[in-house]
């Protein structure tokens, strides 16, 4: 088990290194292939009024003329030790962890991201709890009552859930529940949990449900398929032959095995969402990481985009690491591998 954990940890670190290299390449190598010069890069850090000489000086000072690996190394060093951006015209400080410095807003990327993490975290975690419980429960019931009215109805709703985009369900539910009935918050508001938990939940309820609906649908289908498969396994027959009550057979023997693939998908889905639930945040005007990414793209603020990309990748890698470890806890056969 210890070797398994160590191996997974090394794997995750390697993954992060590769992700950072790919991200770095996308922003600093690919543009060069398209013909961008060091001065073009430097121009991003200068105002619009910058002259060609200023750009040349800045390009040299910022190190855009150095070999690419050196630039990459400097960037990684910034993440751990902080960085200093000297454009010749001004010197900007970017303390560790420095995920880039936005010259559009004249501030480091990381503190801004940190401000937005609680919003995305609240949204993702709350929704995931709802969809996990709801999706699995519906899936199990559908599998056990296969072919019944409930099964058909649930699977139809699930199909709708998978197919309908969030900006549709989100807006419809806003119109109906917030503006129509007035039972949920109108969106755009976020109260930190530690300030007022009740208000925190009230403001997030509709985004949670809308986002959860999308995921619950696919989880219900996945759980149903998994349950149908496991309930036909030989060990289920053994469990029944032992004289176990049917409820124990279903929960301890059937669901336990059917849940393993769900754990995997859940971890990755949650990791992805933590990197920004772009559509949900836009629909409900929540200032989370997804909204941050959208703004960064709209203002063509490359350091911000790169920072968001790295943080999102970090979440996914960490999530898949946790999934791997959980998997070994759930399925003892994995520990061998």
Binding site for another protein (CB under 8 A): 233-235, 237-246, 252-253, 256-257, 330-333, 336
Spatial separation of the C-alpha atoms in residues 28 and 33, rounded to whole Å: 10
- Cα–chain-centroid distance for residue 204? 17
In the complex, what is the shortest distance from the CB of residue 236 to another protein, in angstroms, rounded to a whole number? 9
Distance CA(50)–CA(75), nearest Å, equals 24
Q: Which is nearer to another protein, 62 or 141 (CB)?
A: 141
Which C-beta is closer to another protein: that of 144 or that of 189? 144
Pick the closer one to another protein by CB: 106 or 333.
Answer: 333
The CA distance from 141 to 251, in Å, is: 12
Rounded to an integer, what distance in angstroms lies between the CA atom of residue 287 and that of residue 284? Answer: 9
- Per DSSP, the three-state class of 84 is strand
For 14, 18, 190, 206, 263, the CA distances from 11, given in Å and listed in that order, are 5, 11, 37, 38, 19
Q: Closest Cα to residue 256, out of 335, 332, 152?
A: 332
Between 94 and 328, CB nearer to another protein = 328
In sequence order, the β-bridge partners of residue 85 are 92
Tokens of 20: 């950072």
Q: How far is the CB of 253 from another protein (least distance, A)?
A: 6
Q: What are the φ and ψ backbone dihedral angles of 227, each rounded to 5 degrees?
A: -65, -45
Task: State the minimum distance, in angstroms, from the CB of residue 243 to another protein.
Answer: 3
Q: How many CA atoms lie within 13 A of 170 on its CB side?
A: 22
Give 171 or 244: the residue with its C-beta nearer to another protein. 244
The least distance separating another protein from the CB of residue 143, rounded to whole angstroms, comes to: 15
Q: Which lies closer to another protein via its Cβ, residue 196 or residue 238?
A: 238
């Amino acid at each position: 088990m210890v070797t398994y954990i160590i191996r997974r940890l090394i794997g995750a670190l390697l993954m992060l290194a590769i992700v950072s290299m790919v991200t770095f390449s996308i922003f600093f190598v690919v543009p060069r292939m398209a013909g961008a010069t060091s001065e073009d890069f430097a121009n991003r850090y200068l105002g619009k009024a910058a002259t060609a000489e200023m750009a040349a000086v800045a390009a040299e000072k910022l190190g855009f003329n150095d070999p690419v690996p050196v630039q990459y190394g400097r960037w990684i060093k910034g993440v751990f030790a902080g960085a200093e951006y000297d454009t010749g015209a001004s010197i900007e400080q970017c303390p560790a962890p420095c995920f880039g410095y936005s010259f559009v807003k004249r501030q480091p990327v990381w503190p801004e991201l940190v401000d937005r993490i609680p919003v995305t975290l609240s949204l993702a975690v709350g929704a995931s709890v709802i969809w996990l419980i709801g999706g699995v429960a519906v899936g199990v019931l559908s599998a056990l009552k296969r072919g019944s009215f409930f099964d058909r109805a649930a699977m139809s709703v699930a199909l709708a859930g998978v197919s309908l985009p969030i900006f549709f369900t989100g807006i419809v539910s806003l119109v109906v529940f917030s503006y129509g009935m007035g039972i949920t918050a109108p969106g755009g508001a976020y109260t930190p949990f530690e300030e007022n938990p009740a208000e925190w939940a009230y403001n997030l309820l509709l985004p949670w449900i809308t986002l959860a609906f999308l995921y619950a649908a696919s989880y219900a289908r996945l759980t149903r398929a998994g349950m149908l498969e496991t309930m036909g396994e030989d060990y289920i027959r053994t469990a029944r032959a032992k004289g176990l009550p049917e409820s124990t057979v279903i929960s301890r023997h059937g669901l336990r095995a059917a849940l393993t693939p769900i754990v995997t998908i859940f971890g990755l889905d949650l990791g992805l969402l933590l990197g920004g639930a772009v559509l949900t945040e836009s629909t409900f005007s929540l200032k989370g990481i997804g909204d941050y990414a959208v703004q960064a793209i709209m203002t063509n603020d490359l350091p911000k985009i790169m920072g968001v990309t790295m943080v999102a990748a970090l979440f996914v890698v960490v999530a898949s690491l946790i999934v791997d470890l959980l998997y070994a806890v759930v399925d003892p056969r994995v520990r061998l591998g």
